[in-house]
C-alpha cells in the first residue's frame, strides 16, 4: 500500500477557528478522518508543526520513506528557503496545497519558495485540494 504524508505548517492547527471566512469552519482532524474514509487504499500519515525546523526535519524523513507528500507550508511558503531546499533534497514528489487562493490575496502571498521545487500546486479549492493532491499521487507513482 502506498504511503502518503500530509504536512501542515503554522496556524493550520487552528483550522475551523481561524479566519473561517478565509479557511472555512472545519478543523483538520475531522477532515482527516473523512480523507481516510475516502482514500482507504493509501496509508495517510499526518504531521503539523508551527516550527520551521520541525517541518524541514519531517520532510527529510518522509521524503525517503513515503511515496509522496502533500504539503501546506502555510506562511512559511512565502519565507522559507529551507523548506524549498528540503523539497529539492528528497526523492518523493511534493504537491503544494493552499486552502485559499493565495493569488487573490495580499501581494506577499504570491511569492512561494516552494512552488518551483514542488511537482505541482493546488490553491483556492478549500480542503478539497488535499484530496485532489492525494488522487494525483495515487495515480502517478
- Does the protein bind ligand DQA through residue 75 (CB under 6 A)? yes
Q: How far is the CB of 36 from ligand DQA (least distance, A)?
A: 20
Check: CB of residue 75 under 8 Å from CB of residue 14.
no
- Does the protein bind ligand DQA through residue 109 (CB under 6 A)? yes
Stretch of residues binding ligand DQA (CB under 6 A), selected from 32-40, 54-62, 81-89, 96-104: 96-104
In whole angstroms, what is the distance from residue 126 CA to residue 98 CA?
A: 7
Q: How far is the CB of 107 from ligand DQA (least distance, A)?
A: 11
Instruction: Name the catalytic one among 76, 98, 113, 130.
Output: 98
Q: Is 103 noted as a catalytic residue in this protein?
A: no
- Does the protein bind ligand DQA through residue 74 (CB under 6 A)? yes
Contacts of 76 (CB under 8 A, 6+ apart): 9, 10, 52, 55, 83
Q: How far is the CB of 42 from ligand DQA (least distance, A)?
A: 22
Q: How far is CA 136 from the centre of its chain?
A: 13
Residue among 132, 129, 58 nearest 98 (CA): 129
Which residues belong to the active site?
23, 98
Amino acid at each position: 500500500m502506498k504511503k502518503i504524508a500530509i504536512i501542515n505548517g503554522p496556524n493550520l492547527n487552528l483550522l475551523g477557528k481561524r479566519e473561517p471566512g478565509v479557511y472555512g469552519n472545519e478543523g483538520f482532524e475531522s477532515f482527516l478522518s473523512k480523507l481516510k474514509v475516502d482514500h482507504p487504499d493509501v496509508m495517510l500519515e499526518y504531521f503539523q508543526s508551527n516550527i520551521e525546523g520541525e517541518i524541514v526535519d519531517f520532510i527529510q524523513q518522509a521524503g525517503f520513506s513515503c511515496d509522496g507528500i502533500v504539503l501546506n507550508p502555510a506562511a512559511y511558503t512565502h519565507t522559507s528557503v529551507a523548506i524549498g531546499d528540503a523539497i529539492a533534497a528528497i526523492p518523493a514528489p511534493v504537491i503544494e496545497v493552499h486552502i485559499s487562493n493565495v493569488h487573490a490575496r495580499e501581494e506577499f502571498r504570491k511569492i512561494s519558495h516552494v512552488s518551483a521545487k514542488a511537482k505541482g500546486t493546488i490553491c483556492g479549492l478549500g480542503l478539497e485540494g488535499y484530496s485532489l493532491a492525494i488522487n494525483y499521487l495515487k495515480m502517478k507513482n
